[in-house]
């Protein structure tokens, strides 16, 4: 079921609960620094937030939310190992912290540690069955496990809990497209973009649906928007290049393929296979 011509939106999800205070720390100073760190994180000051989480932990090494929230900040910086270590310490200090399991599941999925990620999702759901983001993550794990029915069920559960969760509409649309339900996929992508018009993967994926429907101009417009939002989204250049081949614009297509491979050389077999089909 897994294809390289779409990309899931899971990596764009940061659990909002990761910055919610859910317990009363022993140390007032730890509490104060935790609150200031959360405020800094919400303003986009990731470095300042991490510094304050560090101080909060110094004052109260048992402060589970400080570890959990520092993990979220570290994940934003691309420090996946540090994030997983923090989520694990948060869980150790508070085994009832559903957000800790949910966040660790997401990072384990990014590292393709599917069994561990699934176990963390199941633990988070047992602790808090209303945590929508966990179902989104579990749906993406099930995609990797070639279980489209389970994936759609999980994305639908996430949407039922939080109808504003744009990523789950986008991800469900990706699975529906692979299953041949182009109209269902298009409806999900439209809803996702209506909620959050700044998800580049969703535009790329919707462009693929338009391409398959023969609406090449609309496909190009979506790829253009995906690239505008994320100029380093290699898959969008590949998608646009394949569509330009269908339009007979060979020179422009080759430029897109070159840009794609400059960003991600591992996509070369994908481009070769699909260009043979187009030509």
Q: To the nearest 5 percent, what fractions of the chain are helix, strand and coil?
A: 75, 0, 25
Tell me, yes or no, whether 67 lies in a domain: yes
Number of domains in the chain: 2
List of residues 6+ apart from 224 with CB closer than 8 A: 240
Residue where a domain stops, chosen among 42, 66, 96 = 96
**Which of 49, 71, 96 lies at the terminal end of a domain, its last residue?**
96
Give mean pLDDT, residues 15-25: 41
CATH for 254: 1.25.40.10
Read off the pLDDT of residues 53-109 as tens digits, 9 standing for 90 and up. Answer: 999 999 999 999 999 999 999 999 999 999 999 999 999 999 999 999 999 999 999
3-class secondary structure for 137-203? HHHHHHHHCCCHHHHHHHHHHHHHHCCCCHHHHHHHHHHHHHCCCHHHHHHHHHHHHHHCCCCHHHH
Between 121 and 28, residue with greater pLDDT:
121
pLDDT tens by residue, 121-157: 999 999 999 999 999 999 999 999 999 999 999 999 9
Contact 233, 201 (CB under 8 A): yes
Structural domain including 251 reads 219-279
Question: Is residue 91 assigned to a domain?
Answer: yes
CA distance 78 to 56: 22
- Kindly report, residue by residue over 153-201, the tens digit of the pLDDT: 999 999 999 999 999 999 999 999 999 999 999 999 999 999 999 999 9
- The answer to whether residue 191 sits within a structural domain is no
Which of 59, 77, 96 represents a domain boundary (last residue)? 96
Q: Is the pLDDT of residue 112 over 90?
A: yes
pLDDT of amino acid 4: 35
pLDDT given for residue 8 in this prediction: 54
- Compute the average pLDDT of residues 241-268: 97
On whether residue 229 sits in a domain, the answer given is yes
Tokens 């047992």 belong to which residue?
Answer: 126
**pLDDT of 18 over the 50 cut:** no
- CA 106 from chain centre, in angstroms, equals 8
């Amino acid at each position: 079921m897994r294809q390289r011509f779409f990309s899931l939106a899971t990596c764009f999800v940061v659990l909002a609960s990761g910055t919610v205070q859910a317990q009363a720390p022993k140390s007032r100073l730890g509490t104060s620094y935790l609150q200031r760190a959360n405020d800094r994180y919400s303003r986009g000051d990731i470095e300042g937030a991490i510094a304050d989480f560090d101080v909060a932990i110094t004052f109260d090494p048992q402060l589970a939310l400080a570890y959990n929230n520092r993990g979220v900040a570290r994940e934003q910086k691309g420090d996946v190992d540090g994030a997983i270590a923090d989520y694990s310490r948060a869980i150790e200090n508070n085994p009832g912290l559903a957000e800790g399991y949910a966040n660790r599941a997401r990072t384990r999925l990014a590292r393709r540690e599917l069994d561990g990620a699934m176990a963390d999702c199941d633990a988070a759901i047992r602790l808090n069955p209303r945590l929508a983001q966990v179902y989104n993550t579990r749906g993406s794990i099930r995609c990797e496990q070639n279980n489209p029915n389970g994936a759609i069920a999980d994305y639908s559960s996430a949407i039922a809990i939080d109808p504003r969760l744009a990523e789950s509409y986008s991800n469900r649309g990706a699975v529906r497209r692979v299953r041949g339900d182009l109209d269902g996929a298009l409806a999900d992508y439209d809803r996702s973009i209506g909620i959050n018009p700044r998800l580049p993967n969703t535009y790329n994926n919707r462009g693929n649906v338009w391409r398959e429907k023969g609406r090449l101009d609309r496909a190009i417009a979506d790829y253009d928007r995906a690239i505008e939002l994320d100029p380093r989204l290699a898959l969008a250049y590949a998608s646009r290049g394949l569509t330009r081949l269908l339009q007979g614009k060979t020179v422009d297509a080759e430029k897109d393929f070159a840009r794609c491979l400059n960003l991600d050389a591992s996509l070369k077999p994908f481009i070769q296979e699909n260009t043979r089909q187009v030509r």
